[in-house]
Amino acid sequence: MKPAKWIWREAAAEKNSTARFRKTFFLREAPVSASLTISAHHYLKLWINGTRVGGLVSPASSIFQKHKLTLHYDITTLLQEGENVLAATVLFLGGNGQNRTRGYAGLFYQLEAQLPNGEEIQVVSGEDCRCSGITEYIPGLPMREPRDLTGSTRTDLSRVEPDWKLSGFDDNGWEKAVISPAQYLVGKLLEQEIPEGAVSAIWSPKCIYKENGFWLFDAGELLTGFAKVKFRAPAGTLLRLRYAELLEGQRKTWETRAQFCPASAMRVEHRVANDGTEFYIDEYIAQGGEETWEEDFSYRAFRYLELTGEGVELLSLEVCKAGTDAPCVGAFRCEQDIPDRLAEACIRTQKNAIIGVLVDCPHREQAQYIADSLMQTHLLFYNFPDAPALARKVLRDFADSQSIEGYLAWNSPLDWNLNGRLLLRMPEYDLMYPTLLRDLWFFAGDGESVREYYPVSARIAAYYLAQRDGTGLMPKPDGPVIHISDWPYSFIDENDT
């Protein structure tokens, strides 16, 4: 069998860009079994003979240079006698981001099928795959957040052929794929253990303000996910969705933190992940007539959202709560209002914070920290059956980011040159790695992970023990390298700690 290779449409890819891939193959008979192993950097949407396969925002993030996660599907019932088509759109985020690493754009797949006569068919990614750099997404738009987690989008379906995912389409005008640098630089392939992303709830948010071509909605809670819009509009009309945690003026400051802050305007705040932004948006160019717009290539965190579009007839708008498909099976009731509401809030917050990585919050920092992951473990292990897999992924992500000296990245996955932020080291956080490993053993009996990640823990301890001076304590070195405490503000004097 010819080995599968990482492919792309050219050697490099620009920031926040997409590409389409199409592979046709013939079967003399419908197969009795067929499976597909596939991966992409960063995320893919997959179709077999026009049927969408897999979940949302897949594969989950990892450290590109150490491990790349693969997805495995049984596609027996989707294949047919005659021509078959594997089609995919791949999103490459690029840049120096958080919750993923840059790496190189690429697609990797390996399909195996067995026919009724026992013949085995293998289809693998290579230079015989057709590709196109023209997709429904306008390339190179700004990233949504200052931390470059996701990219804003503008969708124009007129850019793509409507039948490109189906058999019978002539792709001779498309390019031939080339071998991506990912082929030589990507880390070990590892089957994704945690579930893929999925929608867990859908509801209609309350419209709290409306004027000509403008709607403001309140989802009633902070959520991760996206919106689904049904509308009619003239062809060429630009629709825009803008998302936010708060309305303009509601954010508390040091001076107003003890007060309720009413909205100063009926519009969403232009702020996310600690910083102001004009780009926490998605846009869609209407094709004319009745349409549905549902942009699910990434997650957004929001409670409020604005829809704008001149001449738009809005038929419906729904919010789709989405994230890693990790259901909660635990429950807490004590017939007391406050404890019950606190328990519900904890579960709701935890669901919002499982998005391929175990982030500390869905809206402010959106980062996977060791200490925050550790604080979530009891809630996870008592309520979520997928907790062991989630904990193992956290341990692997940080093991893959461990420095030669032994300390860990401040969060992971993360590009090492993200504004020098990995120069920041917090000993307390690093030293919670062994505690998270202990919890995985204590709650799940996972001795294999203890054997795998004990050396990581030992290197962490050795690094910090080596920093001790004659007092037996670790002094704070010059420069903003090590913080003693979680995250001290600039007015805290650490010199005597």
Tens digits of residue pLDDT in 274-299: 788 899 999 999 999 999 999 999 99
Indicate the pLDDT class of residue 313, thresholds 50, 70 and 90.
very high
Give the fold, CATH level 3, of 7-133+162-194: Jelly Rolls (2.60.120)
Amino acid of residue 417: N
Indicate the pLDDT class of residue 312, thresholds 50, 70 and 90.
very high
Domain 337-465 sits in CATH at 1.50.10.10
The helix (run of H) or strand (run of E) holding residue 21 is: strand 17-27
> Is pLDDT above 50 for 248?
yes
Indicate the pLDDT class of residue 494, thresholds 50, 70 and 90.
low
The region of weakest confidence among 6-15, 240-249, 383-392 is 6-15
Indicate the pLDDT class of residue 396, thresholds 50, 70 and 90.
very high
Instruction: Give me the residues paired with residue 289 across strands.
Output: 233
Beta strands in 312-386 (DSSP E): 313-324
Rg (CA), the chain: 24
The arithmetic mean of pLDDT across residues 290-309, rounded, is 96
Instruction: Give me the residues paired with residue 41 across strands.
Output: 106
> Is pLDDT above 70 for 271?
yes
Beta strands in 286-356 (DSSP E): 289-294, 300-308, 313-324
The region of weakest confidence among 48-62, 302-316, 368-382, 470-484 is 470-484
> Is pLDDT above 90 for 382?
yes
Q: Rounded distance, CA 186 to CA 10, Å?
A: 17
| pLDDT for 230 | 98
Q: Where are the alpha helices (DSSP H) in 73-194?
A: 182-185
Q: Rounded distance, CA 429 to CA 465, Å?
A: 15
- For residue 457, the SS3 value is helix
In the chain, pLDDT over 70 holds for what percent of residues?
Answer: 92
Q: Structure pTM?
A: 0.93
CATH 2.60.120.260 fits 199-324, yes or no: yes
| One fold for 7-133+162-194 and 199-324 | yes
In the chain, pLDDT over 90 holds for what percent of residues?
Answer: 75
The arithmetic mean of pLDDT across residues 139-159, rounded, is 93
Q: Rounded distance, CA 380 to CA 35, Å?
A: 32
Indicate the pLDDT class of residue 137, thresholds 50, 70 and 90.
very high
| pLDDT for 488 | 53
Answer with the residue of higher pLDDT: 410 or 172: 172
Q: Rounded distance, CA 188 to CA 38, Å?
A: 14
Q: What is the longest distance spanned by two Cα atoms in the chain?
A: 78
> Is pLDDT above 90 for 69?
yes
Question: 474 vs 13, 338, 466, CA distance in Å?
Answer: 44, 43, 9
The helix (run of H) or strand (run of E) holding residue 218 is: strand 214-233
| pLDDT for 418 | 46
The arithmetic mean of pLDDT across residues 246-272, rounded, is 82
Phi and psi dihedrals of 128, rounded to 5?
Answer: -85, 0
Q: Name the residue among 3, 91, 85 with its Cα closest to residue 40.
A: 91
The region of weakest confidence among 150-159, 227-236, 374-383 is 374-383
> Is pLDDT above 60 for 207?
yes
Q: Rounded distance, CA 490 to CA 156, Å?
A: 46
The helix (run of H) or strand (run of E) holding residue 247 is: none
- What integer best gives the mean pLDDT of the chain? 91
Residues 24-65: tens digit of each pLDDT: 999 999 999 999 999 999 999 999 999 999 999 999 999 999
| CA of residue 409 relative to chain centroid, distance | 19
Q: Where are the alpha helices (DSSP H) in 445-478?
A: 447-465
- Which single residue is written with the structure tokens 């990614």? 125
Q: Name the residue among 96, 175, 191 with its Cα closest to residue 134.
A: 175
Label residues 431-458 b or e (16+ Cβ within 10 Å = b). Answer: bbbbebbebbeebeebeebeeebeebbe
The arithmetic mean of pLDDT across residues 262-273, rounded, is 87
- Please state whether 95 falls in left (phi above 0), alpha (psi between -120 and 50) or beta: left
Domain boundaries, the chain: 7-133+162-194, 199-324, 337-465
> Is pLDDT above 80 for 486?
no
First and final C-alpha spacing in the chain: 61
* Cβ–Cβ < 8 Å for 180, 11: yes
Instruction: Give me the residues paired with residue 178 across strands.
Output: 8
Q: Rounded distance, CA 252 to CA 236, Å?
A: 40
Amino acid of residue 297: F
* Cβ–Cβ < 8 Å for 110, 122: yes
> Is pLDDT above 60 for 369?
yes
